[in-house]
Amino acid sequence: MLEELRIGDNGTYIYDKVAVAIDRLKCFEALALEYSPEGYYLCDSGGKDSSVIKQLAIMADVKHGVHHNHTTLDHPETVYFVRREKARYEDLGIPYTIHYPKMSFWRLMRKKRMPPMRLARYCCAELKEHGGKDRVCITGVRWAESTRRKTNRGIVEIASTKAVPQLMITNDNEESRKEFETCTAKGKRVVNPIIDWTDDEVWEFIERYLIPVNPLYDFGFKRVGCVGCPMNTHAAQELDALPKYKQAFIRTMQRMINDRIADGGTPFWKNGEEYYEYWVSGKAMPKDDDQIGMDFSEVTP
């Protein structure tokens, strides 16, 4: 529930998570304006958490602009939804920028000489997490999404290239509550106003305020991300349902085989289809020593 009955030093009180999130945004607006006349740099992924923080920023009446990173591997429904959101926010007088990458995902995959893997998701850093340098950003990061985030992510993150001791700040309604600042190396300051919200609370807020969300959720999607993301356990089925993306992966993998041959190396797979099937299986990428005893006489150039 977004409202909880809690016990503090001065007795019981209602802890209103919406009011707290709004206070967090108001607390750091002056800092955001020091960095840019636009105010906050609000990061919109096209997912449900982003829909929530966009609404909260409006309710908090803080100055902000919305920014979305187009990855070239977005689900078509996400692309259309983001375009509608851009038009809606611009009608409200709020700037909304869609950033397009200098290099497409397909070119990036050839440059990295491997497809993204669960332990090598270079595409996130290159295509999704850039932007907001020297700004104060708002994100929809939540502890409920992973144990790692609960351990490493706080209400406010202060970017630095050097490790610093963890700091404590108070920016809540209740005097006894304290929030953490954590140190990152992304060259920006980040406010995570819904860091302590659960999935149920996110949906409760969306339903309460009738907030538009990505239609993929109506199709049964639990999370909205890039097509074929290795973190998605249903990536193979998703790609089967989007054959154009599947064929793009196979074509790019065939080109990667050709690149390896052109560089004087021996490929691991005979063609792009074989490479693709190995990748969607979730197996680790082989090493050069694994080629011993393999027959590459039928490799497709």
Q: Give the rounded percent of residues in the chain with a pLDDT score beyond 70.
A: 83
The CATH number given to whatever domain includes residue 195 is: 3.40.50.620
Q: Token pair of 227, please?
A: 């097509």
Q: In the prediction, which pLDDT does 157 show?
A: 81
Asked, for residue 228, whether it belongs to a domain, the answer is no
Q: Which distant-in-sequence residues (6+ apart) come within 8 Å of 259 by Cβ? A: 110, 113
- Amino acid, single-letter form, for residue 56: L
- Domain hosting 66: range is 17-219
Residue 37 shares a structural domain with residue 113: yes
Asked, for residue 99, whether it belongs to a domain, the answer is yes
Q: Token pair of 246, please?
A: 């599947």
Q: In the prediction, which pLDDT does 171 show?
A: 41
Q: Which of 95, 46, 40 is nearest to 71 (CA)?
A: 46
Asked, for residue 230, whether it belongs to a domain, the answer is no
Residue 109 shares a structural domain with residue 150: yes
Q: In the prediction, which pLDDT does 81 show?
A: 98
Q: In the prediction, which pLDDT does 120 show?
A: 85
Number of folded domains in the chain? 2
The position carrying tokens 């078509």 is 76
Asked, for residue 153, whether it belongs to a domain, the answer is yes
Rounded Cα distance, 107 and 126, in Å:
12
Residue 119 shares a structural domain with residue 187: yes
For residues 219 and 225, is the Cβ–Cβ distance under 8 A? no
Residue 266 shares a structural domain with residue 157: no
Greatest Cα pair distance, the chain, in angstroms, is 78
Q: In the prediction, which pLDDT does 83 show?
A: 98
Q: Which residues of the chain have pLDDT under 50?
A: 161-186, 289-298
